[in-house]
Structure 1
Amino acid sequence: MATAQEVDEEPLKVKDEDEEEVEKDTDDGGEGDEEEPKEPRIRDTPEDIHFDAIVNTLAFHPKQDIIAAGDIDGDIYLYSYSCTEGETKELWSSGHHLKSCRKVAFSHDGRSLFSVAKDKAVHIMDVEAGKLVTRIPKAHSVPIYSLLLVDENVLATGDDEGTLKVWDMRKGTAIMDLKHHEDFISEIAIDEAKKILLTSSGDGTMGVFNIKRRRFDLVSEPQSGDLTSVAIVKRGRKAVCGSSDGTIYIFNWDGFGATSDRFFVQAESLESIVPITDSMVCAASMDGVIRAINILPNRVVGSVGQHKGEPIEDIARSYDSHFLASSAHDQLVKFWDISKLSELHVSDYRKRKKKHGKLTSLSKKAVGCGDNFFAGLLDEPDDAQDKKDNMKEEEEDDKDDDSDSDSGSD
């Protein structure tokens, strides 16, 4: 008869064998329970967000990882975004606008979301609840195109016919109602002192308004193309405007009547410009490319990203300056890593561009990483002799004089 000690040892021995078998299966790549949980994948940027319609406008929350988007159907969406795969999620959506949403903007505390649309209305929504709080149904007599939140109580709007209105939201009435443009007001910007308001217009001029004194100051001389965007750079000493002809126009502060410089970019219409540093902006184009551009010295530094062959409608910078978001006709909102742009140094020295100069990729997601942005876009030589001829041409270009004008292309 087995002793109590021997009986106890038998099951212990069997248990040890089972454990060894399970460990062996796990080591061999078996389907053990310990293999089921997988760590979520961490990406460099949040995943693309797919929409049912083209997104016209984007805005980042000033304090949280939240982005708002307005589309051509008049719908507004709020998403939380994350670099953890699968965690970018829709928070709420709103269909209060009757026509295409043109612009969205968060209040400075992030509690309210302002929007304007082709239906001529101004909406204010509660960000947390996703509910409409205030609506001005006929804010303009024609569709509204642009919007700028000056502070918690003051709002500026521009419409399709060039009228600028400045609103006191405590009263719900316009304290300025001025028309000094002959075409739509595409963008509005304001200085740090909240005194001088700048407008870019489809009539090719930039408008200057003093909102402290509630007066119009002047419009610049007209440029050759529509002015599609405006931004303030160089610590408030310069204003820059993008245009439909691919030119960036530069104005001295207090010298808004005429441009001080202009910089032609080999790109289709520059639809949106966002300042990244005092000297660098990101510009989105109808050719689907987002370019990083240094201002004075004027250089196209490289490509941040792209929507392949799709016109870009809008770009926005996150509150921590880590990401740039873009929306295009492919009905996608994409995120790009811009955290390293502030570290780039642009020299006054300009090296001569080669015959087939390529745009440097500034992010991993941009087409053709490294210095070969247009790889796959240019026609490849049909044979080895063509390749050799191309290399010879480039070597001859390198021997040419390095001097070149600052108003070159990318």
Structure 2
Amino acid sequence: MASPIEHEDSCEQEAAEEPKTPKIRDTPEDIKLEAIANTIAFHPSRDILAAGDIDGDLYLFSYSCTEGENRELWSSGHHLKSCRKVLFSADGQKLFSVSKDKAVHILDAEAGKLLTRIPKAHNAPINALLLVDENIVATGDDEGTLKVWDMRRGTSFMDLKQHEDYISDITIDQNKRTLLTASGDGTMGVFNIRRRRFELLSEFQNGDLNSVCIMKRGRKVVCGSGEGKIYIFNWNGFGATSDRFAVQAESVDCIVPITDSILCAASIDGVIRAVSVLPNRVLGSVGQHLGESIEEIARSRDTRFLASCAHDQLIKFWDISSLPDTRVKRPWQQHQPCDENTIV
């Protein structure tokens, strides 16, 4: 017969050997980096996130809501200076990046191996990147030059300087015809990519234009500004804004559409806000990096998560799964019945 002490030791050993049930979180855990990340991007079909930091390093992480399951898949130090923007190709097999070192890189997303490098793609540091399709890439630099590249040849077929300051963001319409740029000079640029020509600049806005996106089924263009305002343009009415409103933030540095009418906006004050566009309203806070300026936000492929990177050297994940079901009433609808997902 076992003594009480032996029996107690046996029970403790059995308890120690019992597998612990993994804790499931609402969102993946924060990812801590060694330097500030300027840019992040979600993989188009897998639970993978890419990041580029101020040291020029690129990272690939797998993420999971199971506690302790986030993993670094690889890191790469190909850029000589700060990485400004990363994007996955549509099939997720390649990772594109641009840098302060004026280079465009294309990496094998699976292995992190450098496939293509254009070392002196611009005469100034590159700040903005857009993948038009699997072969066409647009880049914008700190001096306001836009280039559009045919990556099959490694050469640019558009090289235009219409802005007087840095290009902060680039987007394109669904037909891949009209390319739009936001700039630190306070204007939005309009370029016809099919005819390979510049069309017009918008009127000057107060403050830098930091971001641009297309909403309302292609009928509206939205820009975020350094003065904390959102400017709205009608499609084919790019010369002057049709509407504008303050977001009660120090700035609107980056915006990501969640639906045709709702976007998330990040600010230098560290707050990410959900914003309705037409009707124009701040719906509330999605998350916050306390006292730390946010560099970029990105939406996951299933619109379940929003990721953000900030000066605290953290990548954070936020649950935005309820935002697509949110409906915002216009003023004349205030007295109509509403459900729990309606904001009045």
Distance 2:154 2:44 in 1: 24
Which secondary structure state, in structure 1, belongs to the residue aligned with residue 241 of structure 2? Answer: coil
Aligned partner of 1:82 among 60, 64, 69: 64
**Which 10-residue stretch deviates more, 30-39 or 212-221?**
30-39
Of residues 195, 199, 205, the one that matches 2:187 is 205
1:51 alignment partner in structure 2: 33
- Secondary structure of the corresponding residue to residue 235 of structure 1: coil
What is the 5 A alignment of 1:357-372? none
1:349 Cα offset (Å): 2.6
SS in 2 for 1:31: helix
Deviations 1:295-322 (A, max 9, x none): 0000000000000010000000001111
Cross-structure match for 2:101: 119
What is the aligned partner in structure 1 of residue 337 from structure 2? none
Deviations 1:190-212 (A, max 9, x none): 11111111000000000001101
**Tell me, what secondary structure is at the counterpart of 2:324?**
helix
Deviations 1:187-241 (A, max 9, x none): 0001111111100000000000110111111110000110000010001000000
Aligned equivalent of 1:145, options 98, 109, 127:
127
Specify the alignment match of 1:257 in structure 2.
Answer: 239
- How much does 1:129 deviate? 1.2
Q: Would you say 1:348 and 2:322 are equivalent positions?
A: no
Q: Distance in 1 between matches of 2:311 and 2:86?
A: 18
Q: Whose strand proportion is higher, 1 or 2?
A: 2
- Corresponding letter in the other structure for 1:106: F
Distance (Å, rounded) in 2 between the aligned partners of 1:45 and 1:156: 33
Is 1:31 equivalent to 2:36 in the alignment? no
SS at match of 1:148: strand
Distance in 2 (CA, whole Å) between partners of 1:329 and 1:284 is: 13
Partner residue in 2 for 1:70: 52
Q: Please report how far the alpha carbon of residue 269 of structure 1 lies from its aligned counterpart in structure 2 after TM superposition.
A: 1.5
CA RMSD in angstroms, aligned pairs only: 2.2
**Secondary structure of the equivalent of 2:331?**
coil
SS at match of 1:270: coil
Question: 2: CA distance between counterparts of 1:89 and 1:201?
Answer: 36
| CA distance in 1: counterparts of 2:194 and 2:120, whole angstroms | 25
1:266, distance to aligned residue in structure 2 (A): 1.2
Q: C-alpha offsets along residues 257-302 of structure 1, whole Å, 9 cap, x if unaligned? A: 0000001111111110000000000000000000000000000000
> Scaled by the length of structure 2, what TM-score is found?
0.93
Q: Going by fraction, where is helix more abundant, 1 or 2?
A: 1
Out of 134, 148, 157, the position equivalent to 2:139 is 157
Letter of the 1:327 partner, please give it.
Answer: C
Equivalent position to 2:266, from 278, 284, 287: 284
Of structures 1 and 2, the one scoring higher in RCO (CA 8 A, sep 6+) is: 2
Q: Does 1:293 align with 2:272?
A: no
Aligned partner of residue 135 in structure 1, secondary structure: strand
TM-score (norm 1): 0.78
Alignment counterpart, residue 95 of structure 1, candidates 74, 77, 85: 77
In the alignment, residue 339 of structure 1 is paired with which amino acid?
S
Secondary structure at the residue paired with 2:321?
Answer: coil
Q: CA deviation at 1:34?
A: 5.1
CA distance in 2: counterparts of 1:186 and 1:332, whole angstroms: 22
The reply on whether 1:229 has 2:211 as its aligned counterpart is yes
Secondary structure class of the residue paired with 2:217: helix
Percent identity of equivalent pairs: 71
SS of the equivalent of 2:120 reads coil
**Per-residue displacement from partner, 1:132-163 (whole Å, max 9, x unpaired)?**
01000000001001000010000000000100
Residue identity in the other structure for 1:132: L
SS of the residue corresponding to residue 334 of structure 1 reads: strand
What is the aligned length?
Answer: 334
The DSSP-based 3-state class of the residue aligned with 1:73 is coil
3-state SS of 2:253 partner: strand
Where does residue 196 of structure 1 map in the other structure? 178
Cα distance in structure 1, aligned partners of 2:167 and 2:115: 26
Structure 1 segment 237-252 matched on structure 2, within 5 A: 237-252=219-234
Between stretches 33-42 and 164-173, larger displacement belongs to 33-42
Q: How does 1:285-324 map to 2 (within 5 A)?
A: 285-324=267-306
CA distance in 2, matches of 1:212, 1:86: 48
Alpha-carbon separation, structure 1, partners of 2:324 and 2:108: 34
Indicate which of 293, 312, 321 corresponds to 1:339. 321
